[in-house]
């Protein structure tokens, strides 16, 4: 017995998680929903891995029939769920596909929907394609129906091994995701459709999140087997986390998952598959959508082509008529040389260096120095505009005076026992040092004010534009 456990542990260490090398994007208890462009992050299973795991399982059954009795019952329950209802069944691997063929397909007409490990789906077009025996299929649309404009695709791959088994038995094959997209397109508001499969080792959930009929998020989660005591708790937490994000949302639990009795989860079972969507599944890698695979009616193609041609010709005739009338008008219009000359002068003025630009640094320095004194109040600041209107015909004709001095009207609380010029001296020194120019208070450039019982000293500070230019 210990030797068998050692062999089983060694094989699991080589092949990773049972069911193939499929690293999940979320933890076993992951309840985080992937972003809109993340898609189903799962790597495809490798057939050799599946066969190796099945070999270990078969040997365990034959050597330990009592110890593995629960696992055998789990496999039987899994196959019962995959058998579906009516003429629709499910396959999540090449092995389950073989079991379906042997046990349920004595009669023709049964449709097999690929789920779980047999399908790799993603919303992310930049995601690397799955390695191994997976085959690229034609892109699906996230929303169904006739809609104009570009629609974002859903990218799909299917297991070549499972497909070969089903095609060899001449079974009708489709993807469960197509029926889920059709089902979700009829929903309103925010709806989370949960699909997936149970295996003896784990439960694989595919989460399709719809908003007003459009698929907006797609992710995959791994959970314990359905018989495990932690299973119900994890699903309950998944539902709670989702409804906290979307309080008005709904959660639909679909086949072939076993019905679950939890609040806020609706068991819809086979509802998405009562009228299954049968899109072509190709055993060869798909590149461009062909008319035969898209199943577009011929009359619809002809009608669309005719409408396109009619609209194009109509607007071409209107364009040519408008062009002829424009040429006729411009041929009889005299040349307007003067406005063009004015535009050239204005363009030259706009592209010429502005004298005001170097003043900005001094203005910023003055404001910063004043801002360090909360009791200083600025009445006005005038920036020199010498030569600012040069080259502008409108400014040249203007009679407005040209300002050549930097002027600051500043007031502060009057200090008792100091004369106006004595109080102004340290203020001029601080501003002059900050701006890098010489400042002065001209004769009669101060005024004593008395407002609401408070005495103020108002200074009119001047600085020459020439002095500023020298500093630059």
pLDDT in 10s for each residue of the chain, 472 residues: 434 343 333 333 333 333 332 333 333 333 333 333 333 333 333 333 333 344 333 333 333 333 344 778 878 888 888 888 888 889 998 888 888 888 766 445 678 999 998 999 999 888 887 777 889 999 998 876 555 556 789 999 999 888 888 888 888 899 999 999 999 999 999 999 999 999 999 999 999 999 999 999 999 999 999 999 899 999 999 999 999 999 999 999 999 999 999 999 999 999 999 999 999 898 887 654 444 444 456 666 677 777 777 778 888 888 888 888 888 776 766 555 556 778 788 888 788 777 677 778 888 888 898 889 888 999 898 887 654 444 444 444 444 444 567 889 999 999 888 888 898 899 999 988 888 888 898 888 888 888 878 889 899 999 875 554 444 4
Q: Please give the tally of structural domains in the chain.
A: 2
Give yes or no: residues 259 and 376 share one domain: no
One domain, residues 365 and 242: no
Is 326 inside a domain boundary?
no
Six-digit token pair at 338? 């003067």
Same domain, 286 and 388: no
Q: What is the token pair recorded at 204?
A: 């694989």
- Examine the domain organization and report whether 377 and 259 are in the same domain: no
Answer yes or no: is 290 within a domain: yes
pLDDT reported for residue 470: 41
Residue 272, in any domain of the structure: yes
Domain boundary among 257, 279, 296: 296
Q: What is the CA radius of gyration of the chain?
A: 40
d(CA 8, CA 13): 9
Q: What is the DSSP letter of 148?
A: -
pLDDT at res. 31: 36
82 and 168 belong to one structural domain: yes
Q: What is the 3-state secondary structure (H, E, C) of 224-263?
A: CCCCCHHHHHHHHHHHHHHHHHCCCCEEEEECCCCCCCCC
Number of H helices, E strands in the chain: 14, 16
Taking CA atoms, 378 is separated from 57, 297, 431, in Å, by 88, 78, 13
pTM of the model: 0.50
Backbone torsion region of residue 116, taken as left when φ is above 0, otherwise alpha when ψ lies between -120 and 50, otherwise beta: left
User: What phi, psi does 36 have (nearest 5°)?
Assistant: -55, -30
What pLDDT is stored for residue 145 in this prediction?
58
pLDDT of residue 1: 40
275 plus 176 within the same structural domain: yes
Strands 119-122 vs 153-159: parallel, antiparallel or unpaired: antiparallel
Residue 270: per-residue pLDDT? 95
Residue 175's pLDDT is: 95
Question: From CA 33, how far away is CA 35, in angstroms rounded?
Answer: 7
Choose one of 275, 296, 317: the last residue of a domain: 296
pLDDT for the residue 290: 42
What distances in angstroms separate CA 60 from CA 4, 17, 42, 68, 80, one per listed residue? Answer: 8, 17, 28, 7, 22
In a domain, 401, yes or no: yes
Q: Is residue 169 part of a domain?
A: yes
Residues 379 and 274 in one domain: no
- The distance between the two most distant Cα atoms of the chain, rounded to a whole number of Å, is 116
Q: Name the DSSP class of 316.
A: H
Same structural domain, 267 and 366 = no
22 domain-assigned: yes
In 3-state terms, what secondary structure has residue 93? coil
Could you give the CA distance from residue 326 to residue 236 in angstroms, rounded to a whole number? 71
Asked if residue 199 and residue 125 are part of one domain, the reply reads yes
Residues listed for the chain: 472
Of 296, 314, 338, the last residue of a domain is: 296
Is the preceding peptide bond at 256 cis, omega within 30 degrees of 0?
yes
328: in domain: no
What's the domain range around 222? 2-296
* Nearest residue to 442 via CA among 466, 465, 421, 412: 421
* Shared-domain flag, residues 130 and 262: yes
User: What is the DSSP code (8-state) at residue 68?
Assistant: T
**Bridge pairing between strands 119-122 and 111-114:** unpaired
Same domain, 137 and 259: yes
146 in the same domain as 253: yes
Through-space distance between the first and last CA atoms of the chain, rounded to whole angstroms: 92
- At 12 the pLDDT is 37
């Amino acid at each position: 017995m210990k030797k068998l456990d050692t062999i089983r542990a060694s094989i699991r260490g080589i092949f990773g998680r049972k069911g193939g090398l499929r690293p999940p994007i979320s933890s076993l208890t992951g309840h985080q929903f992937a972003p809109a462009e993340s898609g189903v992050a799962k790597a495809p299973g490798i057939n050799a891995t599946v066969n190796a795991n099945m070999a270990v399982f078969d040997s365990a059954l034959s050597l330990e029939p009592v110890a593995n009795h629960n696992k055998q019952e789990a496999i039987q329950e899994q196959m019962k769920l995959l058998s579906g209802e009516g003429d629709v069944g499910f396959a999540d691997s090449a092995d389950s596909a073989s079991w379906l063929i042997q046990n349920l397909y004595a009669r023709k007409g049964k449709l097999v929907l690929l789920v779980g490990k047999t399908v790799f789906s993603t919303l992310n077009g930049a995601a690397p394609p799955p390695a191994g025996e997976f085959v690229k299929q034609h892109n699906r649309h996230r929303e169904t129906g006739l809609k104009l404009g570009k629609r974002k695709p859903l990218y799909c791959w299917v297991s070549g091994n499972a497909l070969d088994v089903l095609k060899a038995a001449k079974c009708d094959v489709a993807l469960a995701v197509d029926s889920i997209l059709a089902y979700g397109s009829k929903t309103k508001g925010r709806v989370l459709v949960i699909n997936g499969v149970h295996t003896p080792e784990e439960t694989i959930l595919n989460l399709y999140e719809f908003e007003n009929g459009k698929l907006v998020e797609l992710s995959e989660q791994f959970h314990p087997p359905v018989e495990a005591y932690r299973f119900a708790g994890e699903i309950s937490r998944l539902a709670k986390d989702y409804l906290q994000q979307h309080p008005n949302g709904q959660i639909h639990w679909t086949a072939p998952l076993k019905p679950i009795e939890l609040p806020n989860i609706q068991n819809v079972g086979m509802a998405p598959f009562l009228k299954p969507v049968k899109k072509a599944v190709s055993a060869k890698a798909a590149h461009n959508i062909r008319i035969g695979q898209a199943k577009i009616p011929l009359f619809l193609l002809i009608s669309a082509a005719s409408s396109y041609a009619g609209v194009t010709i109509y607007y071409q005739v209107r364009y040519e008529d408008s062009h002829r009338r424009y040429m006729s008008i411009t041929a009889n219009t005299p040349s307007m040389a003067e406005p063009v000359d004015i535009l050239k002068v204005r363009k030259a003025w706009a592209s010429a260096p502005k004298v005001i630009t170097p003043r900005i640094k001094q203005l910023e320095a003055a404001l910063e120095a004043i801002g360090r004194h909360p009791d200083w109040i600025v009445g006005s600041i005038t920036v020199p505009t010498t030569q600012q209107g040069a080259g502008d015909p409108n400014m040249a004709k203007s009679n407005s005076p040209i300002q050549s001095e930097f002027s600051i009207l500043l007031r502060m609380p009057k200090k008792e026992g100091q004369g106006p010029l004595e109080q102004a001296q340290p203020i001029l020194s601080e501003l002059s040092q900050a701006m890098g120019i010489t400042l002065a208070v001209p004769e009669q450039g101060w005024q004593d004010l008395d407002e609401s019982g408070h005495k103020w000293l108002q200074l009119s500070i001047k600085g020459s534009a020439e002095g500023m230019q020298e500093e630059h």
